[in-house]
Structure 1
Amino acid sequence: MAAARYHGIELDIHDFAAEPGEASPSPASLARWLNDQGAVAKGMRIRWRYLVKMNNSPPIVLMFRDGSAALMVRADAGRGIVWLRDPLSDEGEAPVAVDELRLSQVWTGDILLVKARRGESEADAPFNLAWFARIVLREKQSLRDILIASMVLSILTIVPALIVMQVVNRVVAYRSMSTLVSMIGLVVILSFYEILLTYARRELMLVMSTRIDTRMSLHTFARLLALPLEFYEREQTGRVLGRYMAIYKVRDFLTGRLMTTALDMFTLLVILPLLFYMSATLAWMTLASAGLIGLIVVLFLPPMAKVIGRTIEAEMARGSVLYETVAGIRTVKTLALEPTRKERWDEVTADVVRWKLASGRMGNWPATLVMPMDMFINRGIILVGAYLALESPGGMAAGGLMAFMMLGGRVAAPLVNLAKLLEDINEVSASLGEAGAVLNQPTETKALTTGMRPVIKGALSFQAVNFTYPGGAVRALDDVTFDVPAGTMLGLVGRSGSGKSTVTRLLQGVSRGYSGYLRLDGVELREINLTHLRRNFGVVLQDNFLFRGTIRDNITAGRPGLTIDDVVRAARLAGAEEFVERMPAGYDTWIEEGSTNISGGQRQRLAIARAVICDPKLMILDEATSALDPESEALVNANLQRIGKGRTMVIVSHRLSSLVDCDQICVMDRGRVVDIAPHAVLLERCDIYRTLWMQQNRHQNAGTDPGPTSMLAEGE
């Protein structure tokens, strides 16, 4: 943290979670965390003689064997001394001079280099072909080794043809056994080296492809996580997943067909001069035939691009239907919607089949048209060569003709693959466009990694806040103004669409395009680091999602480093301890996908435990009890008073009975604040609140005071 602060980066150590099995943070895990927080960090192992020469570097973190660390602020190679400072001490405290002997007793040899991020990183750069190229070009050493191996293999490819030529012209023609033995020895030696080089090149390509795939997957998934919630709310999930998976088509192209064709071009550069040396006439015929093949493929590129684009669109639509059906399978089963979903599946499948058939037919035309040229290269060249040999007695011998045939086929293949490569570019361009439609959306990366990290107490202040949803014509919040001191239990009530949930969205930083001032403890909310903000919030929704895993894993989802004691304390606070301990495996009980093996009330209490385990100073409960049965609701409401001690709570509920004990209740209507006061005061002076209260408690007043009931009925 001290090293990051030197570069103007404020961090919260509570956001760090060590890797599983780590007794103390490793440089690698610290570097990953710092990179996620907007810094540039790298862990490495270094020797003393190099460390002592780093006298012009910013503070360097030295890792010690007991799990602690120190900051190296200065070094003197001439005296063999480095100056260390305790990162937890005051910055004005004088550093301590340490020599190699003293440092070696505690230092692991690991250091952590930290600096501020300058410019655009791979994680933030626009997703396009250049982005992929940068990912690939980072493997410079592997690319260099593959290039060298390919060049050597290209030279070795001409050897078999030359051997065939010698065998036919010398061994067979002159019946020379000694020459045959020499050829056999040469073939064995060269074959051994070719096998070895081919294996090495495949291994290098495999390692490089794996590294590229890993780096690409990490960056793109991080980009998905950085997209704002508003994007996911307006986009169809199946379509988002379909577009995201299109990146793997681009990956396969770059590490597959593109790389293979590029490597084959080295073979072409080696073989072509030899072909022209053997027979310029036959070489020009081979090149002309391969060129015609390429021309035909290029001419069919525009119509193929259109058909391929429609095919990809149809496949994404089918994937979206599949995802929607599986995700909503409970609704499909309970409402007997199988025939409807099957009919929809048949429609999208028919669309996919139709476009795939059109794509196949379109591709069949160039494949058929190039067959005559391909046949000429493989069969016609030998006939033309034989004719030339008969017409000119001093022409190419039989062995040379066979060698030319072998090498000619190797020339045509790279040229044909190069033409087909252009065909693949159409599909890759379409895939890039689809993936870019998701990955190039504006992200929250800057908000998640920059901004202030104040100590949060929970005082809220809305000053003339206005907000309109994207595409909306009416303000969701209209000049909202109110203040809430820290430690207040605030209820938000109002009719549907009054703006209650919009207030909670703004507090969580989900929507930031508001006007006016929204302050938390006097700090404008948009100036606070978004990760820090959400870490200090506890949010419980009406329908909470639990991950597939144990109860303990779900409660500690936001803080994986917490202990079982923290889990039990949070469960007790949320009223979940009693039912968890009755389960066979206790906190290690497995929660199935969709939380099918626990009740709705149990799921809500686990969600509350997950929200309070990090001791947030501000909690938001958005209709958290509306879907519960009366018994579960009463249990959760009974715990709210205990949960609310020492923290600010914002409770959104249609059931006014659950808000009676709130310190303040804010009544909203059509995006405006109508009144804010305790329950008793609102009953006296707020018509909207009194109306809502009478409607929900009509059964209590039916026999005693029919007047207000009839008036309400008339008003409705």
Structure 2
Amino acid sequence: MDIEALKLRSGDPAPNPPELVQWLREAGLWARGVNMNFRQLMKVNTPDPIILLLEDGGAALVVGRDLSRQVLVLRDPRKPASAVPVLVDELRLKQVWNGATLLIRASRKGAIEEQPFSLGLISRLVWSDRKILRDIAITSVTLTILSLVPILVVMRTIGQVLQYHGTATLNLIILLLSVSIIFEAILTWSRKMMEVILATKLDARLNLMVFDRLVSLPIDYFEREQSGKVAYQIAQTNLIREFLTGKLMNAFIDVFMLIFLLPILFYMSATLAWTVLIAAALIAAIIAVFLRPMAIMTGRIIEAESSKSSVLIETIFGIRTVKALALENTRAAQWDTRVAEVADLKVAQSRLANWPTTLALPLQRYCMYGVIVLGAYIALHSQNPTEGSTLFGFMLLSGRVAGPLISLAGLLEEVDKTRAAVLMVGQVLNRSNERHALTNGLRPRFEGSIEFNDVTFRYEGSKTPALDKMSFKIPAGTMLGLVGRSGSGKSTVTRLLQGINRDYTGAIRIDGTDMREINLRHIRKNFGMVLQDNFLFRGSVRDNIIAGRPGLSFEDAVRAARLAGAEEFIERLPNGYDTFIQEGSPNLSGGQKQRLAIARALISDPKILILDEATSALDPESEALVNANIKRIAAGRTMVIVSHRLSSLLDCNLIMVLDRGQTIDIGTHYELVERCAIYRHLWFQQNRHLAPEGFDDAEAQQAIT
């Protein structure tokens, strides 16, 4: 465990349970904070650690139990392992402990969060609330019985009431029906609330799982895929949840009703019951015939909707460019095309869906009305005097059976849509991700030395390697500048250092440790990164500075801002560090955003700080302000600076020249000007007033090639 990763809030004597749980989970462990009492602790029998968080900020580790004496065996984690454990009874423990408990165990392989996203996985999530499902099932069975008993009573007694004018019997029937209706209303309300709770819990779990898996996908996936398409695919989780907790739940309820009602219908009239079943089977067959064409049409609509969503999100994201270049009409034309395509497909889908609906309509009407006519015909030609009351009862019950039969038949279509939605979400979430690298691996204390040894890396789909057997080594505390023409591999070096791309050959070592063996989250938390175009979140200036370490204090934010040279402009803002930054940071200049980004990178005091073209988009004044602070920022840490402007690298200890993915030379500015043709060409190209007399730019270019 990396204790440095656990930062306390200012003034707190100890971390609170949520902070501890987050710290443990980031280390790859399973952890949960719960409230327990003494009796529950006595019943737990597990070798996994149980930590009691004491009221004074201390902690105690449960290492045993003595059931005969009703005492817990506790150990002080701050004392050596040879110290004698302490026996504590319930009374003494209550004086220092209010129930806050931390349960910890190793992450289990194959845990539900790590399984492929599928309908089976979601079903297991639903099944984890089996107690609620059990209560819903019991309530559904009870409701079915409550709806069945009055009908049977009325069916058996209504004839006698009419024949003998039995007012007392009629009053009893009314009372029975009233009580039944009241209980049915109460149980219906209760079942609905249980369904809402189940749906809400599933929705929360799905959202947490989807977001967790989405952010564990590698960056290169988001660089390849359209944002609108990804957003639309992920949004299909709502359809899946609605199906499982809505339509599917109602289908199970209908099954319970059919289990009770069908035997009674067959007992009352097997002929009529068989006709209802045959009609429902024919409806299911009609729907099944159209499932495949509907699935194909649904896939086409999904693709069209994804393209439409991509146009919308891309336009919103790039609205400044749209406005600046007057592209409103062009983007509107693209939007119109996508909307028309979706509309045409939906019309075609509706036309196709109308066929099974139309063909099944006569069968549905038979289940509702035709069975009554057939029953009346049978009763008219029957010699049985009770056939009329039987027909009356069948009429009352068949309405409750026909609906569920028809809805079960229609469930086939919903299953197909849900399967398509699961497939879409799975196409995003089931890709190879960084979860294992984020939760496993070494967590060493960094000093900052970097070594590349024969590193070769090729981007997907590219035939030419971005890095070709690159090798170099710099000691801790070095300020290294990376220069080279576009496409020489400068940004690729920084991507590999961040662990964005890990499918390289060769070895990258940090302080002598192979980077693949180091925990990826540990690397990114200890490496600062400032890009050319940095994204600031909606929120205050202070919240943006401490975004990576939300537990840090206001003083920490001020210290980082001062080091980044951002303090002077922050104090001039309307509300200082509490000034609210809107989306896109319209109230900040480019230089101000960059200095805030540097402050955000410095808040965790990283041992390695990477500046990837961090000043290339700045005006000269802002660039000068940032460069003036670089030497101060570099104190005590390794810095890797990528820049096209060589003048900003003059203070670097070493400058490495790259070309076509290879290290051409490495040295100080003055050494490179003397011996490296590429560097000399770039330097004098940017500083022509310093070029020696007779400097031939064409000759230098020929030397480079």
Q: Report the TM-score, using the length of structure 1 for normalisation.
A: 0.94
Q: CA deviation at 1:42?
A: 2.9
Matched, 1:192 2:210: no
Distance across 2 between alignment mates of 1:149 and 1:17: 49
Match of 2:245 in 1: 255
After TM superposition, the structure 1 = structure 2 runs for residues 662-677 of structure 1, keeping only pairs within 5 Å, are 662-677=652-667
Match of 1:421 in 2: 411
Q: CA deviation at 1:521?
A: 0.6
Contact 1:591 1:597 in 2 (8 A): yes
Q: CA deviation at 1:270?
A: 0.9
Contact 1:552 1:567 in 2 (8 A): yes
Distance across 1 between alignment mates of 2:250 and 2:441: 46
Contact 1:459 1:485 in 2 (8 A): yes
Distance across 2 between alignment mates of 1:55 and 1:208: 30
Q: CA deviation at 1:145?
A: 0.3
- The one of 511, 519, 523 equivalent to 1:521 is 511
SS at match of 2:114: coil
**What are the superposed Cα offsets for residues 324-354 of structure 1, whole Å, 9 maximum, x if unpaired?**
1111111111101111111111111111111
Contact 1:542 1:624 in 2 (8 A): yes
**What are the superposed Cα offsets for residues 570-595 of structure 1, whole Å, 9 maximum, x if unpaired?**
10111111111011111010101011
After TM superposition, the structure 1 = structure 2 runs for residues 50-65 of structure 1, keeping only pairs within 5 Å, are 50-52=40-42, 57-65=47-55
Partner AA of 1:450 in structure 2:
N
After TM superposition, the structure 1 = structure 2 runs for residues 485-524 of structure 1, keeping only pairs within 5 Å, are 485-524=475-514
SS at match of 2:664: strand
Matched, 1:138 2:128: yes
Contact 1:169 1:397 in 2 (8 A): no
Q: CA deviation at 1:105?
A: 2.0
Distance across 2 between alignment mates of 1:20 and 1:345: 51
Distance across 2 between alignment mates of 1:558 and 1:638: 25
- The one of 323, 326, 334 equivalent to 1:336 is 326
Match of 1:539 in 2: 529
Distance across 1 between alignment mates of 2:701 and 2:55: 75
After TM superposition, the structure 1 = structure 2 runs for residues 297-316 of structure 1, keeping only pairs within 5 Å, are 297-316=287-306
Q: 1:96 to 1:174 in 2, by over 3 A?
A: closer
Q: 1:699 to 1:420 in 2, by over 3 A?
A: farther
Match of 1:4 in 2: none
Q: CA deviation at 1:162?
A: 3.0
After TM superposition, the structure 1 = structure 2 runs for residues 49-88 of structure 1, keeping only pairs within 5 Å, are 49-52=39-42, 57-88=47-78
**Percent identity between the two aligned chains:** 52
- The one of 453, 458, 465 equivalent to 1:463 is 453
Contact 1:388 1:395 in 2 (8 A): no
Contact 1:698 1:709 in 2 (8 A): no
Distance across 2 between alignment mates of 1:459 and 1:277: 85
Distance across 1 between alignment mates of 2:292 and 2:26: 42
Match of 1:8 in 2: none
- The one of 468, 487, 507 equivalent to 1:478 is 468
Contact 1:244 1:435 in 2 (8 A): yes
Contact 1:19 1:29 in 2 (8 A): no
Structure 2 unaligned runs (5+)? none
Matched, 1:345 2:335: yes
SS at match of 1:67: coil
Partner AA of 1:669 in structure 2:
D
Q: 1:72 to 1:250 in 2, by over 3 A?
A: same
Contact 2:239 2:421 in 1 (8 A): yes
- The one of 611, 623, 632 equivalent to 2:601 is 611
Contact 2:611 2:641 in 1 (8 A): yes
Q: 1:458 to 1:242 in 2, by over 3 A?
A: same
SS at match of 1:84: strand
Of the structure 1 ranges 89-98 and 106-115, higher mean CA displacement relative to structure 2 is found in 89-98
Contact 2:656 2:665 in 1 (8 A): yes
Q: 1:104 to 1:522 in 2, by over 3 A?
A: same
Q: CA deviation at 1:423?
A: 0.8
**What are the superposed Cα offsets for residues 303-331 of structure 1, whole Å, 9 maximum, x if unpaired?**
11111111111111111111111111111
Contact 1:83 1:96 in 2 (8 A): yes
Of the structure 1 ranges 486-495 and 11-20, higher mean CA displacement relative to structure 2 is found in 11-20
Q: CA deviation at 1:31?
A: 3.5
SS at match of 1:666: strand
Q: 1:692 to 1:126 in 2, by over 3 A?
A: same
Match of 1:176 in 2: 166
Contact 2:364 2:406 in 1 (8 A): no
Match of 2:353 in 1: 363
- The one of 514, 518, 543 equivalent to 1:553 is 543
- The one of 145, 148, 156 equivalent to 2:138 is 148
Q: CA deviation at 1:29?
A: 5.2
Distance across 1 between alignment mates of 2:12 and 2:261: 56
Match of 2:693 in 1: 705
Q: CA deviation at 1:40?
A: 1.8
Contact 2:479 2:653 in 1 (8 A): yes
Distance across 1 between alignment mates of 2:265 and 2:66: 64
- The one of 19, 24, 34 equivalent to 1:44 is 34
Partner AA of 1:289 in structure 2:
A
Distance across 2 between alignment mates of 1:100 and 1:382: 71
Matched, 1:645 2:635: yes
Q: CA deviation at 1:684?
A: 0.7
**What are the superposed Cα offsets for residues 162-184 of structure 1, whole Å, 9 maximum, x if unpaired?**
35535742333443221221111
- The one of 280, 287, 304 equivalent to 2:277 is 287
SS at match of 1:300: helix
Contact 2:10 2:552 in 1 (8 A): no
SS at match of 1:421: helix
Distance across 2 between alignment mates of 1:15 and 1:217: 27
Distance across 1 between alignment mates of 2:94 and 2:702: 86
**What are the superposed Cα offsets for residues 652-689 of structure 1, whole Å, 9 maximum, x if unpaired?**
00000000110000100000000110111111111110
Partner AA of 1:708 in structure 2:
D
Match of 1:628 in 2: 618
Q: 1:92 to 1:429 in 2, by over 3 A?
A: same
- The one of 309, 316, 319 equivalent to 1:326 is 316
Distance across 2 between alignment mates of 1:75 and 1:354: 71
Contact 2:613 2:644 in 1 (8 A): yes
**What are the superposed Cα offsets for residues 507-560 of structure 1, whole Å, 9 maximum, x if unpaired?**
111111111111101111110111111111110000000001110110010000
Match of 2:344 in 1: 354
Distance across 2 between alignment mates of 1:19 and 1:567: 13
Q: CA deviation at 1:242?
A: 1.0
Contact 1:311 1:356 in 2 (8 A): yes
SS at match of 1:123: helix
Match of 1:588 in 2: 578
- The one of 421, 427, 431 equivalent to 1:441 is 431
Distance across 1 between alignment mates of 2:649 and 2:493: 17
**What are the superposed Cα offsets for residues 85-140 of structure 1, whole Å, 9 maximum, x if unpaired?**
33344445554444444433212223222111222112211001111011000001
Matched, 1:219 2:209: yes
SS at match of 2:547: coil
Contact 2:488 2:659 in 1 (8 A): yes
Q: CA deviation at 1:155?
A: 1.2
Partner AA of 1:234 in structure 2:
R
Distance across 1 between alignment mates of 2:21 and 2:226: 35
Match of 1:232 in 2: 222
Distance across 2 between alignment mates of 1:423 and 1:14: 54
SS at match of 2:417: helix
Distance across 1 between alignment mates of 2:675 and 2:499: 33
After TM superposition, the structure 1 = structure 2 runs for residues 370-381 of structure 1, keeping only pairs within 5 Å, are 370-381=360-371
**CA RMSD, 1 decimal:** 2.1
Match of 2:112 in 1: 122
Partner AA of 1:644 in structure 2:
A
Tell me the matched-pair count. 704
